[in-house]
Amino acid sequence: MIVTLSDEQQRNIREMASSGVRPPLIANSLGVALTDLLETAGDEIAKAAMAPHHAVLKSLHAQAVSQKSVAATIFWLRNMCADLLRPVPKEPSKSRRANEPLAPEDFRPIEFDVYCNDGEPNFDV
């Protein structure tokens, strides 16, 4: 059943979703069934929930490429550039056992500059 929501209720839904409140709690606070809420405002809830994630990723990316935050750079490399760090299989037909260690030649070389927190290159590494 499609529920008619007032402008104030729609604004409250967007605010709650962008603050991380889950749809069942939003439905409970409005006094409607979860299925009815998702049928009526499911797309709006999904868009509002993604806004803070987008802002965090944008900020993290800025820190990672600024060469001033080593932790942000490492996090970005491990999580967002994981495909670059995965080993390249030499023979696609050969599969490894789960506990078999990888050899150094199984990895693609990656070169990147390491900077200190002051933005100057760190030539000691």
Same domain? For 7 and 42 the reply is yes
The pLDDT value recorded for residue 93 is 45
Q: SS3 of 66, please?
A: coil
Containing structural domain, residue 10: 1-56
Q: Which residue has the higher pLDDT, 120 or 5?
A: 5
Domain assignment of residue 14, yes or no: yes
- Give per-residue pLDDT as tens, 42-94: 999 999 988 888 888 888 888 888 888 888 888 888 887 776 666 666 554 45
Inform me whether the pLDDT recorded for 41 exceeds 50.
Answer: yes
Burial class (CB in 10 A: 0-12, 13-18, 19+), 4: exposed
| pLDDT at 101 exceeding the cut of 90 | no
Residue 18 has pLDDT above 80, yes or no: yes
Residue 14 CA to residue 19 CA, distance in Å, equals 8
Q: Identify the residue with better confidence: 36 or 112.
A: 36
On whether the CB atoms of residues 48 and 14 are closer than 8 A, the answer is yes
pLDDT of res. 87: 64
Check residue 79 and give its pLDDT.
Answer: 80
Give yes or no: residues 75 and 123 share one domain.
yes
- Higher local confidence (pLDDT), 38 or 91: 38
Do 31 and 10 lie in a common domain? yes
For residues 32 and 74, state if they share a domain: no
pTM, to two decimals: 0.50
Q: Does residue 48 fall inside a structural domain? A: yes
Q: For all residues of the chain together, what is the average pLDDT?
A: 78
40 and 78 in a common domain: no
Same domain, 125 and 71: yes
